[in-house]
Chains A and B, each alone.
Chain A
Amino acid sequence: MSRIQTTFARLQASGRKALIPFITAGDPEPGLTVGLMQALVSGGADIIELGVPFSDPMADGPTIQRASERALAYGTSLRIVLGMVREFRKHDLATPVVLMGYANPIEAYGVADFARDASSMGVDGVLVVDYPPEECVEFASTLKAAQLDPIFLLAPTSGEKRFAEVAEAGSGYIYYVSLKGVTGSALMDMDEVARRIPLIRDKVRMPVGVGFGIRDGESAAKVARVADAVVIGSRIIEEIENSPRDEAAARVTAFVRGIRAAMDGSKEEL
């Protein structure tokens, strides 16, 4: 079983939902990233989504755009990000790491080389925002051959035909984008999410995570009631942005711990 599957199985056995925080690698500076990843785990993260910075993050809102710009100012390349994962793996063999980013840095690295290196350095899954399933059949099979999960997005605008296509191409989990917009928007329609998740889960037979627009314990707890995983990104980056650098890790741990508590509390309310 892959690290991602093991993680979801373990959570399911204990009746808990996965908490998946996102940070951008290299933000606010490359030297802090591994420590921030560990801080996420300390706070109760089950899986880490690590953003690979890109010059043109078309699907991201202002918060993650700023994080990318800070990381790129330090020259944070995909190669450097893979090195961060290797460093993280030296001390943590359990927590899955999913790289999230855009196609061009991976294509520039070379798809086959990337799959090989990512796998050997301890990456578990890859989510390429601008690779819909129909444009990456070969990429997805290259990842799978290297024991990496290709993770795909579904959106409120996706039809049921799309669910099946994504189920076919993807593995690990599905990332459901909870709103029509970019990352960090605050317009999530909880009723719509609650209505859609069972439909998706029925078709894809994979855990379904929900992200885009989750900002606090309350919204995380609501999502945890209907989904298998809660993804939270922009709000954590704001936490990092607003902390003195030597306090960022502690503040991130405290923030994630709060989300974790709200999510775990939610099952008692049911």
Chain B
Amino acid sequence: MSVTPYNLPDARGHFGPYGGVFVAETLIPALDELREAYAAAQADPAFLAEFEYELKHYVGRPSPIYHATHWSKKLGGAQIYLKREDLNHTGAHKVNNCIGQALLARRMGKPRVIAETGAGQHGVATATVAARYGMECVVYMGSEDVKRQAANVYRMKLLGARVVPVESGSKTLKDALNEAMRDWVTNIGNTFYIIGTVAGPHPYPMMVRDFQRVIGEECKVQMPELIDRQPDAVIACVGGGSNAMGIFHPYIDVPGVRLIGVEAAGYGLDSGKHAASITAGRPGVLHGNRTYLIQDANGQVIETHSVSAGLDYPGVGPEHAWLNDSGRAEYVTVTDAEALQAFHDLCRLEGIIPALESSHALAYAARLASTLGQDKVLLVNLSGRGDKDMHTVAEKSGIQF
């Protein structure tokens, strides 16, 4: 079972057998520098105060929690509450972490930030904060994704970022991450790499989690205000897993709260076209950390599929790997079709257009709610809004703009 009190990772970034620093030697001193700078920043009240100020005045925090009464009634079981990260500036939880890392970059005297992006959400969030703090910004994006996400590419350009299409490998998120690492190793002196999820070499998984913890911290205060107690379960989608870590982490030490991560089953686990790293992968080493990976028998990382680009990643944050193995969190899957159904239900029954990523968490919540009594409470992290997904959903419904 889970370690109490929970205080992972260890000094070298390990969550049990997962995490760590699996990078080429050239990056080791850069990661040492980052680790030291981050530790100093965390101990500096001025840094924490500025982070908090920015979250309040620029992002619009705290985000509210909303009781989805109409949908809950229709499901006829547990009550579903939504943590409204979709109401943040830029429309998702990603910006919390970008502000934290950009403030750290500024503190470290790095005038240039780089990022990887899949669908473009993290790229947009990074471009946003780079504009806000007057930094040069380069975003790496798989050339396949550049084609699929033209609106987000334009958005990043409007914000002053340079978007570099990546032509190597499968030309998607994982290759964009490889390319960003290559840029970082080449430009270590003036460049800060803003990783968008709780993966990568230590200290990234810990640091990104810490910047996203505000989600769960707010929930721990807000839920008792609404229902006089904490929820029975906290549910979040997991690609790399940053929104899930952000809402789970403050609840790890709270007994009786189930933590449920929802992975993308794509066309179904049996189809081989999915992105369920924990459910259907094996431990391995990629992108600087040991974690569950979707790989073939020879250890080559294979292409993943999800209707939601934000979940379309072959790895997962190492802390999720550990929470799975320790039994503290449960990991389940939802197919493209189920996620789309939840997407449409939330649109029609609550007037909220959710991101397709978040729709996976919603779909599982719906499945679970109908098996539970009406006195049970499920808290779902509505990690982003679905405006960016109009194109995908319309296409799935056979509609052309």
Assess whether B131 is interfacial by the CB under 8 Å rule: no
Expressed in whole angstroms, the Cα–Cα distance for A20 and B161 within the complex equals 41
Assess whether B43 is interfacial by the CB under 8 Å rule: no
Assess whether A154 is interfacial by the CB under 8 Å rule: yes
Q: Give A182's nearest chain B residue, CB to CB.
A: B182
Assess whether B298 is interfacial by the CB under 8 Å rule: yes
Known: A102-B285, A135-B22. A56 touches B186 (CB 8 A): no
Assess whether B29 is interfacial by the CB under 8 Å rule: yes
Q: Contact at A105–B299, with CB atoms within 8 Å?
A: yes
State which of A55, A106, A107, A181 has its C-beta within 8 Å of the C-beta of B300. Answer: A55
Known: A62-B168, A153-B25. A182 touches B185 (CB 8 A): yes
Q: Determine the chain B residues whose CB is within 8 A of the CB of A77 once the complex forms.
A: 298, 300
Expressed in whole angstroms, the Cα–Cα distance for A155 and B28 within the complex equals 9
Interface SS of chain B: helix, strand, loop or mixed? mixed
Q: Contact at B295–A153, with CB atoms within 8 Å?
A: no
Assess whether A157 is interfacial by the CB under 8 Å rule: yes
Q: Determine the chain A residues whose CB is within 8 A of the CB of B26 once the complex forms.
A: 59, 153, 155-157, 177, 180-181
Assess whether B301 is interfacial by the CB under 8 Å rule: yes
Expressed in whole angstroms, the Cα–Cα distance for A79 and B299 within the complex equals 11
- In A107-127, the 8 Å CB interface with B consists of 107-109
Assess whether A132 is interfacial by the CB under 8 Å rule: yes
Q: Determine the chain B residues whose CB is within 8 A of the CB of A134 once the complex forms.
A: 12, 21
Q: Per-residue CB proximity of B285-320 to A under 8 Å, as 1/0?
A: 111100001010111111000000000000000000
Q: Contact at A56–B286, with CB atoms within 8 Å?
A: yes
Q: Contact at A135–B298, with CB atoms within 8 Å?
A: no
Q: Per-residue CB proximity of A46-77 to B under 8 Å, as 1/0?
A: 00000000111111011001000100100001
Q: Contact at B168–A65, with CB atoms within 8 Å?
A: yes
Q: How large is the interface on B (under 10, 10 to 19, 20 to 34, 35 or more residues)?
A: 35 or more
Q: Per-residue CB proximity of B30-61 to A under 8 Å, as 1/0?
A: 10000000000000000000000000000000
Expressed in whole angstroms, the Cα–Cα distance for A205 and B284 within the complex equals 33
Q: Contact at B298–A180, with CB atoms within 8 Å?
A: no
Assess whether A197 is interfacial by the CB under 8 Å rule: no
- In B156-204, the 8 Å CB interface with A consists of 168-169, 174-175, 178, 181-182, 185-189
- In A85-139, the 8 Å CB interface with B consists of 102-109, 129-132, 134-135
Q: Determine the chain A residues whose CB is within 8 A of the CB of B299 once the complex forms.
A: 54, 78, 104-109
Give chain B nearest CB distance to A99 CB in angstroms: 14
**Most A CB atoms within 10 A — which of B21, B25, B178?**
B25
Assess whether B227 is interfacial by the CB under 8 Å rule: no
Assess whether B23 is interfacial by the CB under 8 Å rule: yes
Known: A102-B285, A130-B24, A157-B28. A54 touches B300 (CB 8 A): yes
Q: Determine the chain B residues whose CB is within 8 A of the CB of A182 once the complex forms.
A: 182, 185-186
Assess whether B20 is interfacial by the CB under 8 Å rule: yes
Q: Per-residue CB proximity of A129-153 to B under 8 Å, as 1/0?
A: 1111011000000000000000011
State which of B22, B295, B301 has its C-beta within 8 Å of the C-beta of A132. Answer: B22
Give chain B nearest CB distance to A173 CB in angstroms: 14
Assess whether A162 is interfacial by the CB under 8 Å rule: yes
Q: Give A65's nearest chain B residue, CB to CB.
A: B168
Known: A58-B24, A62-B168. A103 touches B285 (CB 8 A): yes
Expressed in whole angstroms, the Cα–Cα distance for A55 and B12 within the complex equals 26
Q: Give A176's nearest chain B residue, CB to CB.
A: B25
Q: Determine the chain B residues whose CB is within 8 A of the CB of A243 once the complex forms.
A: none
Q: Per-residue CB proximity of B255-291 to A under 8 Å, as 1/0?
A: 0000000000000000000000000001111111000
Q: A56-B175, A134-B21, A182-B182 are in contact. List 17 more A-B contacts (CB 8 A).
A: A58-B23, A58-B182, A65-B168, A104-B293, A108-B282, A108-B295, A108-B298, A130-B23, A130-B24, A132-B25, A135-B21, A152-B25, A157-B28, A158-B25, A158-B28, A177-B24, A181-B185
Which 5 residue pairs are nearest across A and B when measured between Cβ atoms? A108-B299, A105-B299, A77-B298, A153-B25, A59-B24
> Which positions in B face A, CB cutoff 8 Å?
12, 20-26, 28-30, 168-169, 174-175, 178, 181-182, 185-189, 282-288, 293, 295, 297-302
**18 residue pairs bridging A and B, Cβ less than 8 Å apart:** A55-B169, A56-B287, A62-B168, A72-B300, A77-B298, A103-B22, A103-B284, A104-B295, A104-B300, A109-B299, A130-B22, A132-B25, A134-B12, A135-B21, A157-B26, A157-B30, A159-B29, A182-B182
